[in-house]
Structure formats: C-alpha cells, structure tokens
Amino acid sequence: MKKSMVLLLAMGVLVSLGIGAVHAADYPKRPISFVCPWGAGGGTDACSRIIATLLKQELGVPVSVVNRTGGGGAVGHTAIATGAPDGYTIGMPTVEITMMHWMGLTEVTYKDMVPIALVNADPSGINVRADSPWKTYQDLVDHVRKNPGKVRNSGTGQGGIWHLAMAGWLKGLGLSPDAIKWIPSKGAAPALQDLMAGGIEMSTCSLPEAATLIEAGKVRPLAIMADARDPKFPNTPTLKELGIDWTCAAWRGVAAPKGTPPDIVAVLEKAVAKVHKSDEFIKFMKNSGYGIQWMDAKAFGKFMEKADKDNGEVMKAAGIVK
C-alpha cells in the first residue's frame, strides 16, 4: 500500500511537471530539417541558410535547409504546417502565410503553425525616379487625386506583397484601389528596371530592394510603410507621420508544426534568439541589405493574427480576392 502511494505521488509529480520535461532534456538528438518555402538563391533562402548554419552551432546537431517551392509559397508553407510536431521539422514562414488562403491558394494558415520568432522585416517604400516631378510624398498624392488611374506602379505579381502595400495605402487615403494602375512583375528587380526605363512611374518595393538605386541617386524614396524611419534612410518619413495609419512589410520568421511541445518550442526560441543577436547574423543581414527585427514566440503569434486580419480586409477591398 505504501509503495502504491509512493508510485501515485511520483506519477503526480511527473504530471504536474509535464511530460515535456523529458522532451527538453534530450532534444535535439538528431538532424533538424529547416523548410524554406521559396527557391534557392532568393532572400528567404539566404535568411534560412544563415539561421540554419548558426542554429547548428547552438543546438549541436545538423540543421539542413530544404527548399519546398511551388504554388506561390503554398507548397513550402504546407510542408512546415504538416510536418511531424516533434521539433525536427521547422521552417521559415513569410508574409504570404497571411495572404495565400485569402486568395484560395491553400487552406493552410498561420494557425497551423507554432510561432517561434520573427527575425526579419523589410517595409514597403514609395519610390519614384530621382528626376520625377514629384519631389515629396504630398506631390505624388496630389497628382494621383487629380489623375486617377494614370500613375503606374509595380514590384511583385498580381496580389503580391507590394501590390497589397499599394492597396492598403490607397485605402488609407480614401481612394479607389485602381487610383494607381498596378502592373504585375516577377519581382522588385525587374520592376525597378522598368522604373528606370520609364515603363512605370513608381514602385512600392522595399527600401533595401531599391537601396542601390537610391544610393546612386537614381531613385527617390518618398515614404516608408513602417512604424519607424529606416536608419539607413533617415530623411524618408513614415506613412504614419504623414497621416496614414498603414504599415506593410515583407517579413520572415521561424515556426514549427502545430502541436510541437511547448518545451521544445522554448528550446528553439532560445536558440533562435541567440542566433539573432550574434555578430555573424547581424553582419550577414546588414551586408545583404535585409532588415533585422525581433519578436519572441508570443509576440510573433499576435503579429501574424493581426496581419492575417488586416491583409484579408485590404485584399477584399482592393478586389485582389473576391
């Protein structure tokens, strides 16, 4: 009887502590797969690889990047969400996780993942040629109001993040979503080439993407869709300063499949935090022109929830989704 009581008490202690304590004690003990939803050579691939490399140093096991592409990001995000929830499949969700399901590309949402951390964000800019007649943000806004549908903008494909950036900005101005004509492109680089050639008059791509042309004096950033000014471009005001409560950024984070034990998530969150603060990571991101931003697991989860709601509303208002 006494032995039974001791056994029951011992079991009670284990339950109160949670079986996760056992998980944390021996995690990780084998290689981890890090899913990148976008192709090799791109920005998300580069960010995935630097984090995976540094996580290997922190966790003591191989962390291998696996590129799962296709479906406008749907294939890779689905791979993260449907992986085994044991800590050995993690990945890098991007802003598209809060957009794709609204467009009918996938049923997967941020709710199918456990957030670990936000590590990067590159806000949209409002960029024009340096020889443009619009010297200030207000010059451009006044022109658009007087000439609806005449100004052409680009930066991504139809319904992409920089299209969403424009749509939210126009909504904040109280203008129709077609007050500026959207010209789909395969990305910021070709859009900026088109800007230089005169095929479009502006681009809502990020300031880091336009940085080379800005620094060369060929592009003028009129505003940035962020909470604060970019230290590299301190003279560029935020939309909030200009009276428009709208922010929009391409961002990247780290997440695990839904159901991953909290104690394993805590181990990963701590490891990613160390990586994010490391000299190697900071140097890489700055040299590559990527913005450095941090949110822990809890804050990142709330951030995705708000982004999903806001993006859905703007996409519907702009006719990007029906």
Residues 23-36, mean pLDDT to the nearest whole number:
90
Tell me how far apart the alpha carbons of residues 150 and 254 are, in angstroms, rounded to a whole number.
40
Q: Please state, in angstroms and rounded to a whole number, the distance separating the CA atoms of residues 166 and 101.
A: 20
Angstrom distance (rounded) from CA 119 to CA 47: 9
Percent of the chain residues topping a pLDDT of 90: 81
pLDDT greater at residue 224 or residue 187: 224
255-278: per-residue pLDDT in tens?
A: 999 999 999 999 999 999 999 999
Q: Is the pLDDT of residue 24 over 90?
A: no
* Helix segments in 240-296, DSSP class H: 262-277, 279-288
Q: Is 219 left (phi over 0), alpha (psi -120 to 50) or beta?
A: beta
Give the Cα separation of 296 and 53 in Å (integer). Answer: 20
Q: Residue 221: what pLDDT? A: 97
pLDDT, tens digit, for every residue of 175-206?
999 999 999 988 888 999 999 999 999 999 99
CA distances from 54 to 111, 193, 230, 250 (A): 27, 35, 26, 23
Rounded to the nearest 10 degrees, what angle do helices 297-317 and 161-173 cross at? 70
101-142: per-residue pLDDT in tens?
999 999 999 999 999 999 999 999 999 999 999 999 999 999
Distance CA 5, CA 11 (A): 10
Q: What is the mean pLDDT of the chain?
A: 91
Across the strands, what pairs with 219? 129
